[in-house]
Chain A
Amino acid sequence: MEIEVDLVTPVEKAISLLSKMDLDFFDVSSAYSRSLSIGILGKGIKEASSLDDLGIGVRAYKNRGRGIAFSQSLDPADVETMASKAVAFAKMAQPDPYFKGMPGPSKASEITGLFDGEIRSLDLEGVARFTKIMIDATEGVRTGAKFAGGINTGYWRSYLMTSTGVSFAEEKTHIGAFLSPTYREGDDVGSSYEYDYAISLGEIDFHKIGKRAAEKAVGQFGSRKVESGILPIIISPDSSGSLCTGLLDAISGESAVKGRTFASNCLGKQVAPEMFGIIDDGTIRGAVESSTYDGEGIPRRPTKVVGEGRILTFLHNSYSAGIAGVETTGHAQRGGYGGYVGAGPTNIRVKPGDSSLEEMVSETKRGILAEQAGFFPNMVSGELSSTIDEGFLIEGGERRHPVKNLMVGGYMLDLYRNIESVSKEGRELGKGHFFPAIKIDRAKLAGK
């Protein structure tokens, strides 16, 4: 049973209270979410759960000192206690010389397609039916798998008001599905996973998730160790997202402008070959990371982040933009009602190249195809050392066998500098992200 909650009145009351507390700036946000989840383990559904969450949070500033508090009760007495705590913290906090204020209101064109009534009205039986479709599709490829995974669906709405006149409401839906089948033949294991997520139910192909997961899992039988070496590595569209996120996180917000990341000094610099580009676009209709406003009420806008291999801008909220002396790019991220506001990418779209994954493989005499791997660097030093969770040794332009116990190491920026080609086809995720295959002409691999 969904709770009908008034998110606006408690926020207005908190704003009214805070306006009498001798503050310089403050904002109040409230959020309600409802989610349904089906967990898969073993031969099928393990459990089902539903969750309603509700809360309200305050950010208060006095003499550049910040206080944050939140409450999971909208009861007026609890809201008042929360507001008083935030104010007390703000008044005793150390002043932040970089804080310049909160942005005022801006007009924006509404981004549509972020809400799907079908998801909001889904019940657990409905979600369970989709689970069965995934599992049946896997069994259609090969029977006998043991599974892990699940489906979760969610509905979320929020309301934000600030002392600078910003006020807006948002409403969004979400569905995500994940399936990992594991097959065994004696001591040999064939295991992989597949997933997808979207705003709308119609965007998810549950049959395809199950089928692809099984095909990938079966393909992992007979994995073998590979010698250490310096070889080309082809990063599949399933894995190139982490390579891109690793760079964009390093040029986002406070850490980037305060010189705390490996890419802090890369603004305006060539970091990749000229054919490489990334656009961040939080305005795509119906995309998972889209919204009309960012977490501070600044309109979202398409942002060319990497153009012709050069970093053209950092991704800012008002705080980091103030330090850099530029306008915010509308990338403030508010993680719910907790009160904290950071900065980061939205829908990431890598510019397609002119190659294809199969061409990359066929042109490789000896190299590695990384099907599943997380290229997450040390954000300070930029060094990374990652396991290739699933991959293939390529010899003579063909996938020779799956690999195991293999790591790739290096500097994040070296991997970008050594990009040899980008595929024209790739993976669309959440109707917003686009990740192609990326071939790095040499990477340091650690194996047997």
Chain B
Amino acid sequence: MKVNPEDVSPEEKIKKVLEIDRTAKAYSERVKDTFVTYRDVLTKVVVCNSFGSSVEEVTPRTYAYCTVISREGDNMQVGFEFVGNVAGYEIIDGIEPDKFSMKAAERAVKLLSARPPPRGTYPVVVDQRVGGLFVHEAFGHNSEGDLVLGGQSIISDKVGEKVASDLVTILDDPTKLRHGHFVYDHEGTRAKPHLIVKEGTLVAFLHSLESAAKLGGQPEGSARAQSHHNPPIIRMSNTYFAPGDMSFEEILEGVGLGVYLAGSQYGYVETQKGQFTAKAEEGWLIEKGELTEHLRDVAVNGLTLEALKNVTAVGKDFKMDMPGMCGKLNQGMYVDAGSPHVRIEGIVVGGRR
């Protein structure tokens, strides 16, 4: 942390928030409403256990969100932009409202003229945020050792087996200085990077002390609790799809008719069935390898193992930029997710067309 948020006065924080807000409002007459939120959180965790572990960890997290509602007649759309990380006020100082607010406002206004996606099964190309959401929802939860032990995962008996195409490598790495970062988990285990899938083969699960002992794995620090009110459970941290070697243009090539999804909104998974849903902020139709029509309200549904086997292209343009909260067993937890651009065949796209 370079700038402790506690050393910045509330007046200065309000000034920055108002500047972000004013810039978003000024973008267009079609901007109807704007909301800007600033938040900083300082978490201090002390863990002692009967193994003799005794650790203390202090983590700052800082955020800013800009949400813009646009309107044209009865048509209203929403766009947003955000920053958030394990960091201090320096990430807020680094916000240039002309870029940050404009992104949210521009997206909201452009969505007014976007069309709903076509319905059906298509090849889809996902950007780094939707790719991150996909890897978190579709696969990450299935690799959590407690769900494996409890018979709630579709990959519980598949260690060592091929569960995805050769292009797929998935990791969860709490040591990366992203939103899901920590040094020790809440059972006092030192965090290490976890390789989950290597070139399509399931290598390992995420473990707590209990699941590692029962399933014969190595505890590498995946148990975290929302607060002192909750027990530590197995959580992802910074989960990501490892980069490949293709350019975005190469990934689009060969798609006759498909859908490009950008910006993640939310997702969920039924791990026991291996069915996931993911909602993107916006999309584009892909026609003959080119992005054409702008799309809004794009959601996709897929079957995890089918989708992972249908990954046919992985980009080199990796980014981890999805700071958020993941909900599991009534506990929210800080996570991040990332990916390069990825192409997946045979995904159901919901829509009104």
Contacts and interface: CB of A to CB of B under 8 A. Distances in A.
B149 interface: yes
Nearest to B33: A260
Contacts of A384: 297
Interface stretch (A18-26, A106-114, A402-410): A402-410
Interface stretch (A118-126, A154-162, A273-281, A375-383): A375-383
Given A92-B11, A445-B119, A409 B78 contact: no
A191 B273 contact: yes
Given A39-B329, A387-B275, A387-B277, A405 B150 contact: no
B313 to A, nearest CB: 22
Interface string A402-439: 00111111110000000000000000000000000000
B229 A53 contact: yes
A157 to B, nearest CB: 18
B296 A42 contact: no
A411 B120 CA distance: 17
B352 A191 contact: no
B272 A381 contact: no
Nearest to A93: B14
A418 to B, nearest CB: 13
Interface string A22-54: 000000000000000001011100110101010
A140 interface: no
Contacts of A8: none
Given A92-B10, A146-B150, A409-B116, A180 B272 contact: yes
Given A94-B18, A383-B296, A385-B297, A41 B303 contact: no
Given A385-B298, A385-B350, A446-B350, A380 B69 contact: yes
A128 interface: no
B291 interface: no
A410 B352 contact: yes
Given A89-B10, A189-B272, A408 B350 contact: yes
A184 B152 CA distance: 11
Given A42-B150, A385-B298, A444-B119, A405 B273 contact: no
Interface in A40-72: 41-43, 46-47, 49, 51, 53
Interface string A162-191: 000000000000000000101010000101
A41 B146 contact: yes
Interface in B217-258: 229-231
Contact of A228 (B33, B119, B151, B152): B119
A222 interface: no
A182 B148 CA distance: 13
Interface centre among B32, B270, B272, B303 (most CB of A within 10 A): B272
A405 B69 contact: no
B279 interface: yes
Contacts of B75: 381
B293 to A, nearest CB: 16
Contacts of B32: 259-260
Given A385-B351, A387-B301, A146 B10 contact: no
B301 A407 contact: yes
B302 A405 contact: yes
Nearest to A48: B231
A333 interface: no
Given A39-B329, A148-B150, A381-B77, A405 B10 contact: no
A387 B69 CA distance: 26
Contacts of A43: 151
Interface centre among B77, B149, B279, B301 (most CB of A within 10 A): B301
Contact of A446 (B10, B18, B270, B349): B349
A381 B119 contact: no
Nearest to B156: A146
Interface residues on B, range: 35 or more
Given A148-B152, A404-B275, A408-B350, A258 B33 contact: yes
B299 interface: yes
B74 interface: yes
Contacts of B154: 189
A448 B76 CA distance: 30
A43 B13 CA distance: 51
A262 interface: yes
A405 B121 CA distance: 10
A381 B302 contact: no
A245 interface: no
Contacts of A386: 277, 299, 350
Contacts of A184: 151
Contact of A265 (B74, B78, B302, B353): B74
A389 interface: yes
B152 A146 contact: yes
Nearest to A67: B10
B10 A88 contact: yes
Contacts of A404: 273, 275, 303
A407 B272 CA distance: 19
B348 interface: yes
B317 to A, nearest CB: 27
Contact of B350 (A46, A88, A409): A409
Interface in B335-353: 348-353
A383 B352 contact: yes
A147 interface: yes
A378 B33 CA distance: 16
A42 B152 CA distance: 8
B348 A447 contact: yes
Contact of A260 (B69, B147, B273, B297): B69
Given A53-B229, A260-B76, A407-B119, 9 more contacts: A43-B151, A259-B71, A380-B76, A385-B350, A408-B350, A444-B352, A444-B353, A446-B120, A448-B120
24 contacts: A42-B149, A46-B146, A53-B229, A92-B11, A146-B152, A147-B151, A148-B150, A184-B151, A189-B274, A259-B33, A260-B69, A380-B76, A386-B299, A387-B275, A405-B302, A405-B303, A407-B349, A408-B350, A409-B350, A444-B119, A444-B351, A444-B352, A445-B119, A446-B301
Interface of B: 10-11, 14, 18, 32-33, 69, 71, 74-78, 116, 119-121, 146-147, 149-152, 154, 229-231, 270, 272-275, 277, 279, 296-299, 301-303, 329, 348-353
Closest 3 interchain pairs by CB? A146-B151, A407-B350, A385-B350
